[in-house]
Chain A
Amino acid sequence: MTEAAIAEISVTDNYEGGDLNEERSLASDAWRAMRRNPMFWVAMTLITVFVLMAIWPSLFTSTDPTNAVLAKSRERPGVDAWFGRDIQGYDIYARCIYGARASILVGVLCTVGTVLIGGTIGVMAGYQGGWADSLLSRIGDVFFAIPLLLGAIIFLVSLPDFFNDNYFLIVLKVVLALVILGWPSLARLTRSSVIQVKPNDYVQAARALGASPNRIVRSHVLPNSLAPVIVVATINLGAYIALEATLSFLGIGLQPPAISWGIDISAALVGLRTTPHMLFFPSLFLSLAVLAFIMLGDVARDALDPKNR
């Protein structure tokens, strides 16, 4: 009720603003809204730190994470090793830093992969409608019905072993598994977003002008369908990080000598009661990384949603 009253007022508000000359696109309005939100800065700080860790781990530590000092195995946090050492004598701090790379890589690549594949299929299904839509949706349903984690496990287990040599190939393997199983949810989202945008008059106006379907999708449908996709993709990034850790924890994702938080967590379980520091720090890093992306997604949603209308 009151929103309607405020809307009554805001109609006259929008075209004034403070800076009359400025062209305020919805994107810049969203950016402005995000900047005002303290959670945004918290999330961005965390994300920047983790990304830096992934790209230049040497910025954070000069210790070699593959250097096993067995003599000091299970050492508690101290001056020598800030987070202590794990069973094999690795410096936990160094491993936490180096482990960021796997997580960020997997998270980013999975997100990009699912958005590209799922997004394209979703747009096709949503825009075309009819039998193309039915066909693509049913295909998506089939993949959707396979439980993500279980499916990934089976997929990874059945892949031939020669993949395991190259770090990049290992990561790619995991990404592939997750993308193949994860694209339907984004496809569905994109499809429903496109279906909401399609009946809008401006799309009809473009058709009336004789615009090609390509142009309509590119200039009219896509930009207006993106908002929910952006929000979900960001949150999914966090989820993919967690999934990578899970798969590595189970020994199916990344495996030693690759470094991953999941592997460290798995190895640390043994000493849960006696040397909790081995478990604590990788878990902390994992949680913070996931949290950062989820927070960013939340902020994005707040910024994009109400303004969108």
Chain B
Amino acid sequence: MPEVILSAQELVKYYPIKKGVMRRTVGQVKAVDGVSFDLHKGETLGIVGESGCGKSTLGRLLMRLEEPTAGKVIFEGADWSGASGREMRRMRRDIQIVFQDPYTSLNPRMTVGDIIGEPFEIHKDVVPKGGRRARVQELLDLVGLNPEHIHRYPHQFSGGQRQRIGIARGIALNPKVLVCDEPVSALDVSVQAQVVNLMEKLQDELGLAYVFIAHDLSVVRHISDRVGVMYLGRLAELGEEDEVYSRPTHPYTQALLSAVPVPDPTLRGKRDQIVLVGDVPSPANPPSGCRFHTRCWKAQEICSQEEPQLELRSDGAGEHLSACHFAEARTIVETVDVSDLEPDSRFTTTDFSDLDDLGAGLGAAGGGEDLDSSAAESEAERSDALHADSDTAPQDGTRLVDEQPGDQRPPNG
């Protein structure tokens, strides 16, 4: 097992609720209420949960964008909370964040070059002054965007592209950990896959560890090595991806998995549907004992009295961490192993670069905008595939009047 690079220890974050003219604190919103986990080098830890479970707050705590009410974040052996301002700044090079909303995560008044270049302005010793522009262009290329667009503004890009700019900014300083707060939730389905593929590729190339926070269980399954399920500020279950998805032991995980719609109509009526009763309790007033007991079909007296700890519990094939007194594995999702299945290249591509960010259906068929070498391969594939057609790659016919020759990049990458 590779070394532990980030460790959260009993992280707690309470927000005070103030009422009245004198702004007295009448209660606490317990957004995060004791979360611990380890993150290993190069792995992806997925954190899933529904709204109000505290996962976004957890992300901000890990980044120290907010101070924890209690608990510690240990990064590479050093305790964040004890760090001085200077040490903090130094540590920030190693752990960065990608935000959810591509429309508000980039400063609309700055050019893309400035946005990605800002890390180098702040941490001046990472790249010397003369080399910054080149490095920014390198980063643009790395995320599949055209380096010549360095002077463009965010609103000139689509959502998926903006998200990539955010990723480029996040990896600029070569961090070891990237905290991703719902990075693909705000994107269209067909663009999500592009960004997910990009992230996986970057992880391989740069040896990044991800904390991937999301509510979409399918995406998390795909990208994560280990998964943690949060409910009302605490982890309900934590284990390897296979353990949590194929052999969930906590009732909440089971209910969650049964509720996710699967794009397969043949499964209609055949899936194990667990319908939870009641609403999610308010984090200001979490239930006593096990937080889930008010909605749990297995709940018994002990559940309302004693809070179950996140401990190793048997799951039928081994054991993994679960916080339930009556943890019992139940297969909700019939998993099929498709590792040897290749997607049909006639319809999709594993390459993530936006073929042409002038979008609008121009020259999308690789009109010289392709930067990635694998895209060049897929160009070749395309030409061989199905048709008798012509010599030239299928772009000339689609050139519309307003495409500027200046936007053509020489295909040297």
Contact = CB atoms under 8 A, between A and B. Distances in A.
Interface string A160-190: 0000000000000000000000000000000
B300 interface: no
B96 A209 contact: yes
A210 B359 contact: no
Interface stretch (B116-124, B218-226, B321-329): B116-124
Interface stretch (A11-19, A48-56, A253-261, A293-301): A11-19
A70 interface: no
B310 interface: no
Contact of A211 (B118, B166, B357): B118
A24 to B, nearest CB: 6
Interface residues of A, number: 33
Contacts of A67: none
B256 interface: no
A201 B101 contact: yes
Nearest to A20: B404
Contacts of A24: 152-153, 155-156
Contact of B359 (A16, A23, A26): A16
A208 B63 contact: yes
Contacts of B100: 201
B406 A201 contact: no
Nearest to A23: B151
Interface stretch (A87-95, A108-116, A216-224): A216-224
Interface in A196-238: 200-202, 204-212, 215, 219-220, 223-224
The interface residues of chain B, by DSSP majority, are classed as loop
B92 A202 contact: no
Most buried by A among B88, B159, B357, B359: B359
Interface string B349-362: 00000000111100
Contacts of B88: 210
B153 A201 contact: no
A220 B96 CA distance: 18
A43 B281 CA distance: 58
Nearest to A223: B109
A25 B153 contact: yes
A158 interface: no
A41 B109 CA distance: 26
Given A20-B407, A201-B99, A215-B122, A11 B159 contact: yes
Contacts of A308: 108
Contact of B108 (A11, A208, A219, A224): A224
A224 B151 CA distance: 18
A134 to B, nearest CB: 10
B158 A209 contact: no
A12 B104 CA distance: 17
B51 interface: no
Contacts of B358: 15-16, 20
A204 B155 CA distance: 19
A20 B109 CA distance: 19
Contacts of A205: 97, 99, 105, 166, 169
A25 B115 CA distance: 13
Interface in A140-157: none
Given A12-B360, A21-B406, A224-B108, A210 B156 contact: no
A211 B114 CA distance: 14
A14 B65 contact: no
B172 to A, nearest CB: 9
A116 to B, nearest CB: 21
Most buried by A among B89, B123, B153, B169: B153
A224 B122 contact: no
Contact of B407 (A12, A21, A201, A215): A21
Interface in A2-33: 11-12, 14-21, 23-27
Interface residues of B, number: 47
A202 B116 CA distance: 12
B370 to A, nearest CB: 17
B107 A15 contact: no
A25 B109 CA distance: 7
A17 to B, nearest CB: 8
B105 A15 contact: no
Contacts of A18: 402
B78 to A, nearest CB: 15
Contacts of B121: 215
A209 B104 contact: no
A204 B96 CA distance: 11
A210 B123 contact: yes
A126 B52 CA distance: 27
Given A204-B65, A215-B122, A219-B107, A210 B92 contact: yes
A183 to B, nearest CB: 25
A27 B88 CA distance: 35
A23 B111 contact: yes
A12 B359 contact: yes
A208 B155 contact: no
B96 A208 contact: yes
A100 B358 CA distance: 51
Nearest to B108: A26
B92 A208 contact: yes
Contacts of B151: 23
Contacts of B65: 204, 207-208
Given A15-B157, A16-B360, A219 B110 contact: yes
Given A15-B359, A16-B359, A210-B123, A201 B104 contact: yes
B106 interface: yes
Interface of A: 11-12, 14-21, 23-27, 200-202, 204-212, 215, 219-220, 223-224, 308
Given A15-B359, A23-B156, 17 more contacts: A14-B155, A14-B156, A15-B152, A15-B158, A15-B357, A15-B358, A16-B402, A23-B151, A24-B152, A24-B155, A201-B99, A208-B96, A209-B122, A210-B92, A210-B93, A211-B122, A224-B107
9 contacts: A20-B358, A23-B152, A24-B153, A26-B109, A202-B107, A204-B60, A205-B99, A205-B105, A224-B108
The 9 A-B pairs of least Cβ separation, nearest first, read A201-B105, A210-B92, A210-B89, A201-B99, A223-B109, A15-B156, A23-B151, A202-B107, A201-B104
